[in-house]
């Protein structure tokens, strides 16, 4: 009977939305940054659609007390993943209230500390589930109106979804009260806590756009948020449906897992995109900005019923972000990005056999192939018909869940386009139709030339030299010129030097960067030309130039060190870390070797963000600067919440363990490590000894 109960419960839970409709939730939570815990009181209002004896609320590793239905205590149980409410629920309106406590192992992240004055707390629900920090629903089809009250230290800003209705002082804390007016899926619930400054603008439709930055980065406000208002106004006009929420916030947070996340009304994004005017050239937030904003319609307003239809979110957000960038940067940019993704998709189709309409499809398929599908469709039925269909689709299914068929139904109302053939080619096939893609790319003159450049890839330089020379001297879009430079990489310098000089004369930062990256061996006659890269207003170009110049001209190293000693670079200190690594390895310059080494080691420590630490550790290892501190910081990286960084740590430890002397050092530092670090290192030591 127990097996039967479990089977039936699982069957009902999978379809719980057919039995129960949760309407609203009021949450009152307190967060403790010291023990990284959350405590709260929660009230859900819901309607029972059909009689049911057990209702579940997803709750990962939580404890509960005072569970009451309409004020009366009822039986409940937990299984580590869910709160199970056991009661003969009958049709009608109900409310349930309870208290809970959790120490989230994921989804809510605590970065920095109060002691070092860099504490930030933020959440990331998609793919990891909000139910780790707030009792909610992992089923995206259960949409709820969230109202959150969050108590925290008064020295910090607390940001969440919806309108800030009020702030109430409570001793040394403030209770921030946020309210939503419309329902959303639980994975879009979010909060961010930190010391932020706010800049506010108004859209044409009178929506308040709040742009936050850590107080220490306030001088980077303009380049970081450049074009934000323009993007907002464009998307509202292009989509044809008013922004669906009452306010829009953007908050950069430290150590974020992804580029950005479209939480309803409040996007969180990586501090990687907090840039100055020089950094903007290489690391602009523009695309992420537009992508996450587009999600407020595609994903937040209408949400895919299942992973199979995930392209309805990512494909749409990717395509509309590209349309927004077209408005800002022009048609050549738009087509160059379509071309770039077509090349990625063509290459990936050789090994990626999963089509877009499959929950297991790759991100490349969901995002880029989904965007290409929409471009094909938009061109095929015409822009006006496409806009009308999208507008009708969003209005009809607002605050609901959707399938691809729902979208197709709206296309059929405005066009006789052959959707069956379209779907087979772009959504159900694992391949990428380069023929159709190239036909559409050829509508742009620069891409016509780009496709000609591609055809010459296997030709000898002598046969394509004149064409390359003419193209580099033309006004064709810079990506085409950069592509030509890429084809020159393996050619003899004597044969290509005049073409390289023509490329430099374009004075385009990206074309010049292409030259800097492809010319790793620098002839003496080109040294002066190459040294000019040190003056380019691009931190990436400067990093390439300094490294390759140092590597090629040993007798000039001290001069390069002196010339670049005040460089810092992006907010991940890319130039400073490179400079320190080179200075330590330049005997004739490193009089302060110990000082430089300590600074570099500090960048590899938990005092800095993962991207900074990884950069420092890579240079330390590559330059063979390995000591106990480096190894301890490397072990610490394996415990980090960013999987990319923890994987970097594990992979490098595996390599270093092959060296017997370094293995001995790892074993010697083991007792000084904390419990998590010991667990990770022990596992790697055992793995290596097999």
Summarised one tens digit per residue, pLDDT across range 281-332 is 999 999 999 999 999 999 999 999 999 999 999 999 999 999 999 999 999 9
pLDDT at 95 over 50: yes
**Spatial distance between the Cα atoms of 415 and 410, rounded to a whole number of angstroms:** 9
Answer yes or no: is pLDDT of 4 > 80: no
Residue 453: enclosing H or E segment and its boundaries? helix 445-455
Asked whether residue 678 carries a pLDDT value surpassing 90, the answer given is: yes
pLDDT at position 519 is 92
Hey, which residues does 145 pair with through a beta bridge? Answer: 24
The pairing of strands 20-32 and 82-89 is unpaired
What 3-state class would DSSP assign to 489?
coil
% the chain with pLDDT above 70: 98
Q: Is the dihedral of CA 233, 235, 236, 242 positive or negative?
A: negative
How many angstroms separate the CA atoms of 471 and 55, rounded?
67
Task: Report the alpha-carbon distance of residue 322 to residue 314 in Å, rounded.
Answer: 12
Share of the chain above pLDDT 90, in %: 94
For the chain, the distance separating the N- and C-terminal CA atoms, rounded to the nearest angstrom, is: 45
pLDDT at 351 over 90: no
Is 290:231 a contact under the CB 8 Å cutoff? yes
Convert 396-447 into a string of H (helix), E (strand) and C (coil): HCCCEEECHHHHHHHHHCCCCCCHHHHHHHHCCCCCCCHHHHHHHHCCCHHH
pLDDT in tens, 529-560: 999 999 999 999 999 999 999 999 999 999 99
Look at the block and give the residue holding tokens 């127990």: 2
What is the structure's pLDDT at 562?
A: 96
Would you state the pLDDT for residue 14?
55
Rg (the chain; Cα; Å): 28
Q: Which residue has the tokens 């063979």?
A: 624
Phi, psi of 401 (to 5 degrees): -105, 150
47 pLDDT more than 70 = yes
Q: Phi and psi of 613, rounded to 5°?
A: -60, -45
Q: Is the pLDDT of residue 1 over 70?
A: no
Residues 103, 37 contacting (CB under 8 angstroms)? yes
Q: How many residues does the chain have?
A: 690
CA atoms within 13 A on the CB side of 559: 7
Cα(4)–Cα(7) distance, integer angstroms: 5
**What span, in angstroms and rounded, lies between the C-alpha atoms of 443 and 80?**
56
Give, to the nearest 10 degrees, the angle between helix 228-239 and helix 383-396.
90
- Could you tell me the pTM of the whole model? 0.95
State the average pLDDT for the chain.
95
pLDDT tens track for 432-482: 999 999 999 999 999 999 999 999 999 999 999 999 999 999 999 999 999
Where are the domains positioned within the chain?
A: 302-349+370-429
CB 268 within 8 A of CB 229: no
Handedness of CA 538, 544, 548, 554 (dihedral sign): positive
Which residue do the tokens 């610490």 mark? 636
Q: Which two tokens stand for residue 272?
A: 């990687």
Question: Residue 48 contacts by C-beta under 8 Å, 6 or more apart in sequence?
Answer: 19, 20, 89, 90, 91, 92, 94
CA distances from 161 to 184, 188, 268, 290, 320 (A): 10, 9, 11, 19, 23
Mean pLDDT on 339-356: 92
| pLDDT of 489 above 90 | yes
pLDDT at 690 over 90: no
What one-character DSSP code corresponds to residue 365?
Answer: I
Pairing of strands 184-185, 191-194: unpaired
pLDDT tens-digit map of 558-567? 999 999 999 9
CA angle 243, 246, 249 (to 5 degrees): 85
Which residue is associated with the tokens 């106004």? 233
Backbone angles phi, psi at 689, to 5 degrees: -80, -10
Q: How far apart are CA 19 and CA 55, in angstroms?
A: 9
Mean predicted confidence (pLDDT) in 233-245? 98
CA distances to 250, 641, 673, 688 from 681, rounded to whole Å, are 38, 16, 9, 10
- Report in angstroms the alpha-carbon separations of 337 from 76, 309, 323, 341: 54, 24, 11, 6
Per-residue tokens: 570: 């992006």
Using CA atoms of 259, 262, 263, 266 in order, give the dihedral in degrees to the nearest 10: 90
Confidence band, pLDDT 50/70/90 cuts, at residue 405: very high
Q: What is the rounded CA–CA span in Å between residue 185 and residue 401?
A: 9
Phi, psi dihedrals of residue 120, rounded to the nearest 5°: -135, 140
Arithmetic mean of pLDDT, 257-266: 97
Helix H or strand E encompassing 39: strand 37-48
| Residue 257 near residue 642, CB atoms below 8 Å | yes
Among 21, 24, 105, 89, residue whose Cα is nearest residue 54: 89
CATH of 302-349+370-429, one of 1.10.390.10, 1.10.10.10, 3.40.47.10, 1.10.150.120: 1.10.390.10
- Contact indicator for 385, 379 with CB cutoff of 8 Å: no
How far apart, in whole angstroms, are the C-alpha atoms of residue 209 and residue 230? 11
Q: How many CA atoms lie within 13 A of 125 on its CB side?
A: 28
Q: What is the mean pLDDT of residues 41-52?
A: 97
Question: For tokens 């990962």, what's the residue?
Answer: 60
pLDDT at 352: 80
Mean pLDDT of the 578-598 span? 92
Q: What whole-number distance in Å separates Cα of residue 394 and Cα of residue 280?
A: 33
Residue 512: pLDDT band (50, 70, 90) is very high
């Amino acid at each position: 009977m127990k097996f039967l109960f479990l089977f039936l419960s699982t069957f009902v839970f999978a379809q719980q939305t057919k039995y129960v409709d949760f309407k609203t939730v009021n949450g009152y939570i307190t967060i403790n940054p010291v023990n990284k815990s959350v405590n709260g009181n929660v009230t859900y209002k819901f309607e029972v659609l059909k009689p049911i004896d057990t209702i579940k609320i997803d709750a990962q590793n939580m404890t509960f007390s005072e569970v009451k239905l309409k004020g009366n205590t009822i039986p409940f149980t937990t299984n580590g993943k869910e709160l199970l409410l056991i009661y003969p629920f009958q049709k009608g309106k109900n409310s349930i209230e309870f208290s809970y406590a959790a120490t989230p192992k994921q989804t809510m992240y605590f970065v920095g500390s109060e002691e070092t004055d860099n504490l930030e707390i933020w959440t990331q629900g998609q793919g990891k589930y909000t139910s780790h920090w707030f009792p909610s629903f992992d089923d995206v089809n259960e949409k709820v109106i969230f109202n959150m009250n969050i108590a925290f230290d008064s020295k910090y800003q607390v940001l969440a979804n919806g309108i800030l209705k009020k702030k109430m002082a409570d001793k040394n804390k403030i209770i921030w009260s946020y309210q939503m007016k419309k329902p959303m899926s639980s994975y879009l619930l979010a909060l961010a806590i930190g010391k932020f400054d706010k800049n506010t603008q108004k859209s044409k439709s009178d929506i308040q756009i709040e742009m936050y930055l850590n107080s220490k980065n306030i001088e980077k406000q303009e380049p970081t948020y450049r074009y934000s208002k323009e993007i907002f106004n464009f998307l509202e006009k292009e989509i044809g449906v008013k922004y669906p929420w009452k306010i829009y916030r953007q908050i950069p947070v430290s150590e974020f897992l992804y580029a950005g996340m479209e939480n309803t009304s409040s996007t969180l994004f990586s501090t990687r995109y907090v840039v100055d005017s020089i950094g903007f050239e290489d690391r602009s937030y523009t695309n992420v900005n537009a992508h996450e904003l587009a999600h407020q319609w595609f994903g937040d307003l209408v949400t895919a019923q299942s992973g199979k239809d995930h392209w309805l979110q990512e494909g749409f957000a990717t395509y509309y972000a590209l349309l927004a960038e077209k408005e800002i940067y022009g048609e050549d940019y738009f087509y160059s990005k379509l071309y770039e993704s077509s090349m990625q998709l063509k290459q990936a189709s050789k090994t990626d056999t999963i089509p877009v309409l499959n929950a297991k499809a790759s991100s490349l398929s969901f995002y880029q192939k989904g965007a290409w599908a929409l471009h094909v469709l938009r061109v095929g039925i015409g822009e006006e018909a496409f806009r009308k269909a999208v507008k009708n689709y969003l209005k009809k299914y607002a605050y609901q869940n959707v399938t691809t068929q729902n979208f197709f139904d709206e296309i059929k109302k405005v066009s006789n386009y052959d959707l069956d053939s379209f779907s087979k080619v772009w959504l159900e096939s694992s391949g990428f139709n380069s023929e159709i893609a190239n036909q559409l790319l050829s509508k742009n003159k620069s891409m016509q030339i780009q496709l000609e450049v591609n055809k010459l890839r296997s030709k000898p330089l002598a046969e394509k030299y004149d064409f390359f020379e003419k193209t580099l001297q033309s006004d064709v879009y810079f990506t085409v010129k950069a592509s030509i430079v890429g084809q020159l990489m393996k050619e003899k310098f004597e044969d290509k030097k005049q073409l390289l000089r023509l490329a430099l004369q374009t004075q385009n930062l990206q074309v010049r960067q292409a030259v800097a990256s492809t010319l790793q061996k620098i002839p003496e006659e080109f040294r002066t030309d190459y040294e000019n890269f040190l003056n380019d207003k691009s931190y990436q170009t400067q990093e390439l130039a300094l490294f390759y110049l140092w590597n090629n001209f040993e007798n000039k190293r001290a001069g390069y060190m002196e010339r670049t000693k005040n460089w810092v670079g992006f907010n991940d200190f890319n130039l400073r870390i490179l400079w320190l690594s080179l200075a330590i390895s330049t005997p004739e310059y490193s009089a302060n070797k110990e000082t430089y080494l300590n600074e570099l080691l500090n960048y590899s420590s938990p005092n800095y963000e993962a991207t900074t630490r990884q950069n420092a550790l890579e240079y330390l290892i590559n330059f063979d600067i390995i000591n106990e501190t480096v190894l301890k910081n490397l072990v610490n990286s394996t415990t980090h919440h960013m999987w990319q960084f923890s994987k970097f740590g594990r992979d490098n430890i595996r390599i270093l363990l092959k060296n017997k002397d370094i293995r001995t050092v790892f074993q010697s530092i083991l007792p000084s490590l904390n419990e998590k670090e010991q667990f990770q290192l022990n596992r790697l030591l055992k793995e290596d000894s097999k």
